[in-house]
């Protein structure tokens, strides 16, 4: 993703290939000194993440979380949308805190620790003492600050979703006590913020500084850098970290975690969630069951059956009408090298 405020993205490949791409990107002086996190993959991982389901070579299944066979570049007004104009994280943002110094900062009882990710990400994992703003969208963050941190407001303590205790998941139960030992400050002076890779914190800390907060810190490289560098024995991280690819979640050392994705609502679920009577693979989970109509559930069942049968939603042609070229066999006989020619020319053109 490219915006006036910077660049953010993920790539995968061999070490040599990745370094070639990174060198090309950083040859632009505006994109030098990029912060990187790495999740190494071995031969076994490559078999799992090769972009195709085991059943069909036609479509990517849930066992293809980390590999891409295409390049997608998006031009955006904001890398992450907050909807607040005038912010310039390059000019003003919270002070970076190295992962090795992070534990000391957030263990200080006078530090308010804020998780600026969405509510379902917090549910999967979080730092001890972290506040959960329960954001549905990053655009909700300014309103949460106004209500809970500004003008002497008391910090909001998450008490988990309002759901009957018999259907509440283990993650939700954990959330009930996840904000222990919070500081009792009328107006917090020192705020430490974190997010997945650091992008949202750049804007969130910039916003707080513009609102008049004095001491604002952010975890350099985000949770991913922390999990990459800090061993589990020294960690203050609880749970796993949700990531925006089909790995779903990672743990310490950035090893793939235990979560799967509900393909109906795209929310992470664990083994306990999948034991719930509200779980139906490919259809509903405890987090979306009550929000889906019977018609929605029926459509989801049909899609899931297509995936089970074909390995791709929509069948072998993914729901698209197959394009037939007239006299294609004559063309191929006359120009047998033509497909390779255009492939090479396309590559050279890039």
The overall longest dimension of the chain from CA atoms, in Å, is 80
What is the number of structural domains in the chain? 2
CA distance 201 to 129: 18
Within a domain: residue 41? no
Same domain, 101 and 145: yes
Same domain, 116 and 206: yes
Same domain, 233 and 266: no
Question: At 104, is the secondary structure helix, strand, or coil?
Answer: helix
Give me the sign of the Cα torsion angle 280, 282, 284, 287: positive
Residues acting as catalytic residues: 195
Same domain, 202 and 301: no
Within a domain: residue 34? no
CA distance 323 to 150: 59
Within a domain: residue 343? no
Within a domain: residue 66? no
Within a domain: residue 221? yes
Cβ atoms 144, 179 nearer than 8 A: no
CATH code for the domain in which residue 207 is found: 3.40.250.10
Within a domain: residue 11? no
Same domain, 306 and 202: no
Same domain, 122 and 205: yes
Task: Encode 191-229 in three state secondary structure.
Answer: EEEECCCCHHHHHHHHHHHHCCCCEEEEECCHHHHHHHH
Same domain, 102 and 146: yes
CA distance 7 to 197: 12
Domain endpoint, select from 216, 242, 268: 242
Domain endpoint, select from 213, 242, 271: 242
Bridge pairing between strands 111-115 and 268-269: unpaired
Bridge pairing between strands 125-127 and 237-239: antiparallel
Residues facing 125 on adjacent strands: 239
Same domain, 121 and 154: yes
Same domain, 235 and 274: no
Within a domain: residue 56? no
Within a domain: residue 4? no
pLDDT of residue 86: 81
Same domain, 291 and 200: no
Same domain, 193 and 268: no
| Mean pLDDT per 10-residue section of the chain, whose length is 350 residues | 85 84 89 78 51 39 50 87 84 93 95 95 95 93 88 46 44 44 57 93 93 93 94 96 86 91 89 94 93 93 83 58 53 45 35
pTM for this entry: 0.72
Give me the sign of the Cα torsion angle 199, 204, 210, 212: negative
CA distance 79 to 324: 40
pLDDT of residue 256: 85
CA distance 158 to 155: 10
Same domain, 236 and 291: no
Q: Which domain holds residue 156?
A: 95-161+181-242
Residue 156's nearest CA partner among 182, 137, 177, 175 is 182
């Amino acid at each position: 993703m490219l915006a006036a405020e910077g660049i953010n993205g993920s790539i995968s490949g061999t070490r040599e290939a990745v370094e070639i791409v990174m060198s090309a990107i950083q040859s632009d002086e505006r994109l030098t000194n990029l912060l990187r996190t790495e999740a190494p993959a071995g031969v076994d991982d490559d078999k799992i993440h090769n972009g195709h389901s085991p059943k069909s070579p036609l479509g990517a299944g849930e066992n293809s979380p980390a590999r891409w066979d295409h390049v997608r570049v998006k031009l955006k007004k904001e890398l992450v949308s907050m909807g607040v104009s005038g912010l310039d994280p390059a000019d003003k943002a919270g002070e970076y805190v190295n992962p090795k110094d992070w534990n000391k900062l957030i263990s200080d009882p006078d530090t308010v620790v804020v998780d600026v990710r969405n509510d379902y990400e917090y549910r999967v994992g979080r730092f001890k003492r972290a506040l959960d703003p329960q954001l549905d969208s990053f655009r909700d963050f300014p309103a949460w600050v106004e209500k809970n941190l500004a003008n002497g407001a008391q910090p909001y303590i998450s008490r988990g979703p309002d759901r009957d205790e018999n259907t509440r998941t283990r993650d939700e139960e954990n959330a009930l006590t996840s904000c222990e030992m919070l500081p009792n400050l009328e107006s917090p002076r020192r705020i430490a913020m974190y997010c997945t890779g650091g992008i949202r914190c750049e804007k969130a800390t910039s916003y707080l500084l513009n609102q008049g907060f004095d001491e604002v810190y952010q975890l350099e490289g985000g949770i991913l850098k922390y999990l990459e560098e800090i061993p589990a024995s020294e960690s203050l991280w609880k749970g796993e970290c949700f990531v925006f690819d089909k790995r779903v979640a990672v743990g310490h050392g950035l090893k793939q975690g235990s979560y799967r994705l509900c393909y109906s609502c795209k929310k992470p679920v664990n083994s306990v969630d999948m034991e719930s009577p509200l779980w139906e693979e490919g259809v509903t989970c405890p987090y979306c069951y009550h929000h889906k109509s019977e018609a929605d559930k029926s459509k989801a069942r049909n899609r899931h059956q297509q995936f089970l049968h074909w390995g791709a939603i929509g069948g072998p042609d993914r729901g698209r009408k197959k394009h037939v070229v007239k006299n294609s066999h004559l063309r191929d006989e006359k120009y047998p090298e033509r497909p390779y020619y255009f492939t090479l020319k396309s590559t050279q053109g890039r």
